[in-house]
Structure 1
Amino acid sequence: MVAYEMIQNLKEIYEGQARQERYETSKALFQCKMIEGSPVGAHVIKMMGYIQTLEKLGFSLKDELATDLILQSLPDSFKPFVLNFNMNEINKTLPQLLGMLRTAEGDMKKGGSKSILVVHEVKRKENKVAKSKGNGKTKAKGKNALKPKGGISQDGKCFHCDKPRHLKKKLSCLS
């Protein structure tokens, strides 16, 4: 019983210290912001250290939350990267994210303020001209339908002389 009581006593003493350390570490992690122009590698490594310290203290973060914390701590110059990362739903480990951020930082330094945005195609319903089935003619649908230009109209009258069933090419219509 003496050993058991000693272990319980040590747990009580050190749990309070671990709680305080966990509080300080999580506070530093959540308040961490990268200064514009500073290297992204050092910033991300510092944040990864905080995350690993929390894991050792029994408070592990899921990879998605850790990634979100890192991306939220970046300055405005990384907005195109963050937008692309979130739009494409990229799932990377923290070391892989670090590599991607270093590459993006190098590209930003080389290219100045050029940003690349990936856009997904959105399908919309539109009235389009239907493709023909081998006879060389097309059929139109909806508002974009072509109206006949001469010859017999849809109600069967000539466009030029208004006689029923009469083509404009006949001599009686042209005179």
Structure 2
Amino acid sequence: MANGLSFRSILDANKLTGPNFIDWFRNIKIVLKQEKKAYVLYGPILGKPSDDATNEENEAYRVYMDDLDQATCVMLASMAPNLQKQHKAMNAFYIILNLRKMFDKESYTERFNFSRELFRCKMSEGSPVRPHVLKMIGYITRLE
């Protein structure tokens, strides 16, 4: 990095173990956005240019593949060893698709539970407003 600023230490402290998929994915997006490589997570995957492609097309493909490889390495390095083994032959785009299949049901359940708590959240008569609002903000933040 030219400016020496790197958010990769976030991933060292928060490796993907499975149940923390939502938090891990948020951190992956932060790190890759800071490194200007987040676009590789959202597809479409560039196909290899044809033999008669221009130099610009070849260069764009090379840059894309380099960014995809770097994103894949960052993701694999921030996973628990068992998940690394499962995903070592995939690129970043397919890793995310597979992880969503594996853990989205858990994240759906987690989001449902936070939504339920948010909608059930009622302020007691005579109690201060500030703690109630902070509690609701916490639920909303978790839902994001």
The TM-score normalised by the length of structure 2 is 0.34
Q: Which has the higher helix share?
A: 2
Larger Rg: 1
The TM-score normalised by the length of structure 1 is 0.29
Higher relative contact order (CA 8 A, sep 6+): 2
